[in-house]
Amino acid sequence: MAIVLSIDNLSKKYGSLKAVDSLSLQVEEGSIYGLLGPNGSGKTTTLGMVLDVIQPTGGSFSWFGDGISKATKQRVGAILETPNFYPYLTAKRNLQVIADTKGADHQNIAKMLDLVGLGTRSNTTFKGFSLGMKQRLALAAAMLNDPEVLVLDEPTNGLDPQGIAEVRDLILRIAAQGKTIILASHLLDEVEKVCTHVAVLRTGKLVTDGPVGNILSAKEQLIVSAEYLAPVLQLLERLPYIAQFAQEKDYVILTLQEGYSSTDLNRDMFAQGVVLSQLVARRKSLEKQFLEIIKS
């Protein structure tokens, strides 16, 4: 896969505060890439720098293998802040004004309104829109140039559950057209349901990154006990598929590598003459896993 965005040791300081600290990552073409982290983790600052809105303190970035330029900006659509529209103009007329500013073809307006589900509301004034409709209109505005990449900062922020579901569905439909999407969010649920890849940020630093299924996987945990724990602990040290384990009083909590189950453990314990008196499987919640990642 081609690399759409490459970030190399990107940093931003505000006095003594490091908003972004030596951040490096790569976004592949066709991915839905999430920047996940609590408020103040550097997500918006990172997007501001790669969109040429904020001047970096150090490091570099490139779009499509080139530096930032008018040509590369034409290939990227973005919603970085709260979208501004004229409240007394219709959805269609607002997009006409934006199209003139961007140099976009007016023929794209009806297509984009249909894409975001506002085709039947094109003649409704902006002031009559719900928050979810306003956000969808902003997405239509960002798509007027038919960009290859769409950059979104907290796209569901402030929306009710219905609005969140609408925007999530829209992001997936846009991605299905072959677009690359980069979005920032502090919501674990949003990233899990929408993104293919994720970078977890904390206080401006990259904690971990990779496919969502790998980074935020709720791996199976087992609770095991036996009449004597010593042989259990010794065998756990040798089994290659044990990710980690820890003794808690008279039992052991352990995590298995992907692709293994409690059946594998029980079989191997029994083969070595260890009979387990308890073997309970449980799943670690994604929320708990995320909290462990950002606190580690």
Locate 294 and state its tokens.
Answer: 């950002």
Burial of 231 (0-12, 13-18, 19+ CB in 10 A): middle
Q: Which residues, at least 6 apart from 279, have a Cβ–Cβ distance to it below 8 Å?
A: 222, 223, 224, 262, 265, 266
Which pLDDT band holds residue 290 (cuts at 50, 70, 90)? confident
The CATH H-level superfamily of 3-215 is: P-loop containing nucleotide triphosphate hydrolases (3.40.50.300)
Which pLDDT band holds residue 283 (cuts at 50, 70, 90)? low
Q: What does the alpha-carbon distance between residue 144 and residue 148 come to, in Å, rounded to a whole number?
A: 11
The CA-atom distances, in angstroms, between 90 and each of 96, 126, 137, 165, 285 are: 10, 6, 11, 24, 44
Helix (H, G, I), strand (E, B) or coil at 232: helix
In the chain, ranges of CATH 3.30.70.100 domains: 220-295
Is 70 exceeded by the pLDDT of residue 219?
no
pLDDT score of 199: 95
The CA-atom distances, in angstroms, between 25 and each of 3, 9, 22, 264 are: 10, 9, 10, 36
Structure letter (DSSP) for residue 148: S
Angle of the 229-238 helix axis to the 262-271 helix axis, nearest 10: 110
Higher pLDDT, residue 205 or 244 = 205
Let me know: does 45 contact 56? Beta carbons within 8 Å.
no
Is 90 exceeded by the pLDDT of residue 212?
no
Of 1.10.3720.10, 3.40.50.150, 3.20.20.70, 3.30.70.100, the CATH number of 220-295 is 3.30.70.100
Q: What does the alpha-carbon distance between residue 187 and residue 167 come to, in Å, rounded to a whole number?
A: 14
pLDDT score of 296: 60
Q: What is the dihedral of CA 178, 105, 155, 137, to 10 degrees?
A: -130
Is 90 exceeded by the pLDDT of residue 218?
no
pTM of the model: 0.78
Per-residue pLDDT tens digits for 90-129: 999 999 999 998 889 999 999 999 999 999 999 999 999 9
% of the chain surpassing 90 pLDDT: 68
The CA-atom distances, in angstroms, between 50 and each of 141, 192, 254 are: 20, 24, 41
In the chain, ranges of CATH 3.40.50.300 domains: 3-215
Locate 258 and state its tokens.
Answer: 């992907």
Helix (H, G, I), strand (E, B) or coil at 39: coil
Per-residue pLDDT tens digits for 155-192: 998 888 888 998 999 999 999 999 999 999 998 888 98
Q: Which residues, at least 6 apart from 207, have a Cβ–Cβ distance to it below 8 Å?
A: 37, 200, 201, 293, 294, 296
Is 80 exceeded by the pLDDT of residue 285?
no
Let me know: does 271 contact 244? Beta carbons within 8 Å.
no
